[in-house]
Structure 1
Amino acid sequence: MQYEMLRYRRCWREATDLRLASVIPGHSAAWSLRRPCEGPRRHSRSGPSGLVSPNCLESTESGHVFVDCQERRLSFIPTANTWSNKPKHLLLARNRIKVLPDGAFLGYENLDSLDLQQNQISLVEDGAFQGLTKLTTLLLQHNRLQTLSEEALIPMPNLGYLRLYDNPWNCLCPMDSLVRTLQVPSNRNLGNHARCAKPIWLKNMKLKHIDPELLCKEPDPANNQQSDETGYTGVLEPSSIQSKPDATTVCFTYHYPQIRMDCSNRGLTEVPSGIPDNVVHIDLSHNSISHLKARDFHAAKSLRTLNLSNNNMEHLDKGSLTGLLHLQELDLSNNNLTFVQHGVLEDLYFLLHLKLEGNLWVCDYSIQYMVYWLSLHPGVSPSGLVCYSPLEYAGDSVEEYVKAYNRECPKQQSRPDQDQTDPELWNTLMEAQADEKKKQSADLSIISSEKKP
């Protein structure tokens, strides 16, 4: 608005000077040599021309040029000549783009991936992706698409990864060509998890599984699909009870520069299933996951960072972190954990950062496994391991508590779960046992010598 006001004032001054130059002798006529002030600039179909470049981040990783325009409130596709180098990856997620017109990506012929998820896209014209012959990855999930023609995909012969889920697909005749294309066996990674939103008799059916013949076939109006006797039951997908939500549909997935999943604030009560094995970062914070179960992350073998903060979590099963051999950062902060049972951390060989603040750590015998494990992994940088209770230790470092505990009770016998004790206690017990064996051996030697004649 401020820019438009300044432009209006400049135009008014130009017009005034032109009038004065024509009627007042000696008045400068310099303005008359300039082009008259133009009206609002016209916008091309691919985006506004002549506008200031959006405040996007251009970077290069492994020789690939990335342009990150996520969350820039864009309502148009920036023209290709906006960037200093031709991008290989264009990230336009979480903007306000509503339409992809014909030729929207002309000039982006080097693109390998295009991320358009979480916009407001309701229309993709058939020629929108013209020129993207090298594109392999297209992300259109979490938009408002009801229909999409196969024609829109034809300009992308190398497309091998297409995400379309969380769109309100209207599975009628105009979707026939797209559904048939998605069901070609060689297109196994195109359109997975996308489901019909309407009509009612096809609702929740996967585009991959629907019979294309049904799209152009209207149901008999005399039938009532909700009736047991005359219902339109031949096309309904059997309802299945899923014990867990599916990560690929519940979470937002970002593929570049590294594959990460944002599952935060999704109302989850447990870790979703189907986490892909190539995900590097996953954020499960600010949910209601109170309990980590064994094998929750067994398929996520590539994870480097795992954020489980702010979940009111109370318990971690043994085996809940099994398989995370490459994990480097684990955030368990702001939960309700009181201790971590023996064996939970055993697979975390390469962990570097462990965030533990904001929990209810109880400084008693059960906390010693955590300190013991940290003592065996000096490369790990823990934070927030502070006693919450009992009251006399509140605010003390857990490590200092364990040291004081061992000084005060050096000869304490182990409990049945002695595998959770501090190694210093174990050493004390073994030394005592060794001394006892030596004493027994000495006694036997004396008895043996006394019996000799």
Structure 2
Amino acid sequence: MQVNSCLLLASLLLLLPSTEMKRSGKGRGLRGARHKLTRDRVRGAGRHSRSGPSGLVSPDCTELTESGDIFVDCQDRRLNSIPISKTWSKEPKHLLLARNRLKILQDGAFFGYENLASLDLQQNQISLVEEGAFQGLARLKTLLLQHNRLRTLSEEALIPMPNLHYLRLYDNPWNCLCPLDSLTRTLQVPSNRNLGNHARCEEPIRLKGMKLKQVDPELLCKESDPTGNPEWDQTNTTVPAKPSPFRGKPDATTSCHTYLFPQIRMDCSKRGLTEVPTGIPDDVVHLDLSHNSIHHLRARDFQSARSLRTLNISNNNMERIDTASLFGLLHLRELDLSDNSLHYVQYGVLEDLYFLSQLKLGGNPWVCDYSIHYMVYWLHHHPGVWYSGLICRSPPEHTGESVEEYVHSYNRECPKDRQHSRTDQDQTDPELWNTPMEVQRELEEELEPSHLRVPQKYQIIRLS
């Protein structure tokens, strides 16, 4: 009897777990348990504190307020996923994720960021954007996806953003085949003139270098050679050959990196430029052209950059700045010309810089002769400009001397070698007025030929 009781108790203990599982899963066994686990994870996703979910570390980003807008700056943080929206104390309007390690934008990647007006994803490693990645971003106006690894992108990905005004897609290896057909048609709609400018095909070879804005969508779905010849793209004569590219000045939009926060900044440093690129947007406030090989600034190089406040052209081995090269920079505040090969600055170069407050000139081999006087003259008449680095490098007798001291010493010594004209002296010395010298001067005037002293009279002859 005792043995039977033990067996009955053991059977009950074995039945209890399965009964409990059925209760938790509402009669669905293991399937119900999985459903509960998934439901708990979804609910838990909305309960993360600012420190992030359990086991994850909150990204070391910066929350800033500029003109009443909330910016979240997560640039250069080595992120490989999008931070959840609950991480921030306030809902951001601008999210900066440039220069990270993002590779895939999954569906719902920006859930909780419905208030975003701009999203900067440039200079990552993004190779795939799922169709629902931007779901919920109905207020987004600016999307930056340049300098990534995108080969294709569906038009469906753009549909959740009806207010998108600016979309940058250049410097991606676009594969211009049939899957890209819908995107190219969207970009070529006239009202989308600011979407996808400068993006070009990387493949196939027959379309390489052509802009997505200009490529014929009908060419994207051309069937490959039925014989399977991999060289078909190069030898097919039915497709018009791509015209050889125009070799002109580099374009600023494709050659440089553009950032939105806190003001629009264009970074063109270390890009191998040999001249100032064209097409600098008129809303760029800060421009960095340092560490290139720009030896010569030409007239009107910056005529489109009307909003510039700071301009850095240091470390370019620059030898010459033409007059009117800085034409139009009426609002420029800071100019960095340091570490170049300038001997002097031509007369008139600085005349448009009405509001300049800082001028960096160090690291140049300034030659202290008469050609350097213009720089000191201009600085003398603009006492509000703080400047540095204006030191004589040659000739040897003035090496190490400040250019301002050289010019002052030059002006002190110059009168010894200069002869004043008698005309200047007569006009400026009151003691010589009404003297024999003045009388002699009047006599000389009376002895001048009459045709020089008296206005000539002209005779009018009537022909009718």
TM tier, shorter chain?
0.7 to 0.9
Q: Deviation at 1:446?
A: 4.0
- Cα distance in 2, alignment partners of residues 138 and 412 from structure 1: 67
Match of 2:237 among 231, 237, 240: 231
Specify the SS of the correspondent of 1:388: strand
Specify the SS of the correspondent of 1:279: coil
Name the counterpart of 1:435: 425
Question: Larger Rg: 1 or 2?
Answer: 2
Name the counterpart of 2:18: none
- Cα distance in 2, alignment partners of residues 388 and 314 from structure 1: 15
Name the counterpart of 2:91: 86
Name the counterpart of 1:142: 147
- Cα distance in 2, alignment partners of residues 209 and 441 from structure 1: 84
Query: Equivalent residues in 2 for 1:51-450 (5 A)?
Result: 51-218=56-223, 220=225, 226=234, 231-234=237-240, 236-410=241-415, 434-437=424-427, 443=437, 445-446=439-440, 448=442
Q: Deviation at 1:437?
A: 4.5
- Partner amino acid for 1:125? E
Q: Deviation at 1:185?
A: 0.6
Q: Deviation at 1:434?
A: 3.0
Unmatched segments (≥5 aa) in structure 2: 1-40, 447-464
Indicate conservation of the 8 Å contact 2:206/2:234, yes or no: no
Indicate conservation of the 8 Å contact 2:205/2:234, yes or no: no
Q: Deviation at 1:237?
A: 3.5
Indicate conservation of the 8 Å contact 1:283/1:306, yes or no: yes
- Cα distance in 2, alignment partners of residues 411 and 246 from structure 1: 54
- Partner amino acid for 1:435? Q
- Partner amino acid for 2:324? G
- Cα distance in 2, alignment partners of residues 134 and 215 from structure 1: 32
Change (3 A) 1:441 1:384: farther
Name the counterpart of 2:33: none
- Partner amino acid for 1:134? R
Number of residues paired by the alignment?
A: 394
Name the counterpart of 1:8: none
Q: Deviation at 1:217?
A: 1.2
Indicate conservation of the 8 Å contact 1:201/1:232, yes or no: no
Percent identity of equivalent pairs: 68
Q: Deviations over 1:345-387 (max 9, x none)?
A: 0000000100000000011111000000000111100011111
- Partner amino acid for 1:317? D
Change (3 A) 1:103 1:451: closer
Specify the SS of the correspondent of 1:267: coil
Q: Deviation at 1:231?
A: 2.5
Change (3 A) 1:298 1:411: farther
Change (3 A) 1:363 1:195: same
Q: Deviation at 1:239?
A: 2.1
Q: Deviation at 1:441?
A: 8.8
Change (3 A) 1:406 1:146: same
- Cα distance in 2, alignment partners of residues 129 and 259 from structure 1: 24
- Cα distance in 1, alignment partners of residues 415 and 195 from structure 2: 64
TM-score, length of structure 1 as denominator length: 0.82
- Cα distance in 2, alignment partners of residues 256 and 448 from structure 1: 73
TM-score, length of structure 2 as denominator length: 0.80
